[in-house]
Amino acid sequence: MSRKTQVARRRAAEEDAPAGIDAVSRHREKVLAHAEAQLALQGKESPAELLALYKRFLKIENHRLRLKHYAGEGGREIAHQRASLVDIVLRHLYDGAAAKAGDTDLRELSLVAIGGYGRDELNPFSDVDIMFLHSSKAKEVPAELNEVI
- In this prediction, residue 16 carries a pLDDT of 47
- Measuring CA to CA, how many Å separate 148 from each of 52, 54, 122, 133, 135? 13, 11, 21, 16, 21
- Write out residues in the chain with pLDDT < 50, as ranges: 1, 3, 6-7, 10, 12-18
- In this prediction, residue 30 carries a pLDDT of 79
Cα 69 from Cα 13, distance rounded (Å) = 25
- In this prediction, residue 115 carries a pLDDT of 92
Q: What is the pLDDT of residues 44-85, one digit of tens each?
A: 567 777 788 888 888 988 998 999 999 998 999 999 989 988
- In this prediction, residue 14 carries a pLDDT of 46
- In this prediction, residue 17 carries a pLDDT of 47
Cα 66 from Cα 64, distance rounded (Å) = 5
